[in-house]
Amino acid sequence: MSPRRYKITVDGTSHEVEVGDVVASPVRVNVDGVDYDVEVPGKPARGATPAQPSAPTRPIARPTAPASPTTPAPTPGAGANAMTAVMPGRVLSVAVSVGDSVSRGDLICVIEAMKMEQQIGANRDGVISAVHVSGGDSVAHGQTLVEFE
């Protein structure tokens, strides 16, 4: 079965979702370019024989890519020296301060989005000239996180 593609809106933000074969669990789901394996209760595991259905529970999503800092591309209109949020979420921590030297990929901050922690890495080498977020802040897609000199 070929994947089904959907465009959904959550809290005013559009997301591209691609859902793989739903016959067995886990189901491969791609949300805005990030792959997840979603276990679906009541569905047999891939390659297993069907078992008796169990009590209904919530699906469990697990990322399929290893956890590593996300290096966002610069957002048009944000300025060449600005690094912006690639997704809406809540800032859990900020790892840099004004004056810090960073290399591409170094941890800038951790954002919780869709109940998952996303490590946001620097999109270039440079020196931090401004930090626009702090722990606990809510950020929108495209919002400036830090600026470089």
The pLDDT, as a whole number, for residue 59 is: 55
Query: Contact 118/111 with Cβ under 8 angstroms?
Result: yes
Backbone angles phi, psi at 44, to 5 degrees: -70, 150
The pLDDT, as a whole number, for residue 114 is: 85
* Between 100 and 6, residue with greater pLDDT: 100
Listed range (11-15, 125-129, 130-134) with the worst mean pLDDT: 11-15
Listed range (58-62, 77-81, 105-109, 132-136) with the worst mean pLDDT: 58-62
CATH 2.40.50.100, applies to 82-148: yes
Question: For tokens 């805005």, what's the residue?
Answer: 32
The pLDDT, as a whole number, for residue 78 is: 57
- Residue 91, SS3 per DSSP: strand
pTM score: 0.50
The residue ranges of every structural domain in the chain are 4-63, 82-148
pLDDT tens digits, 17-33: 888 887 777 888 888 88
CA–CA separation, 135 and 93 (whole Å): 5
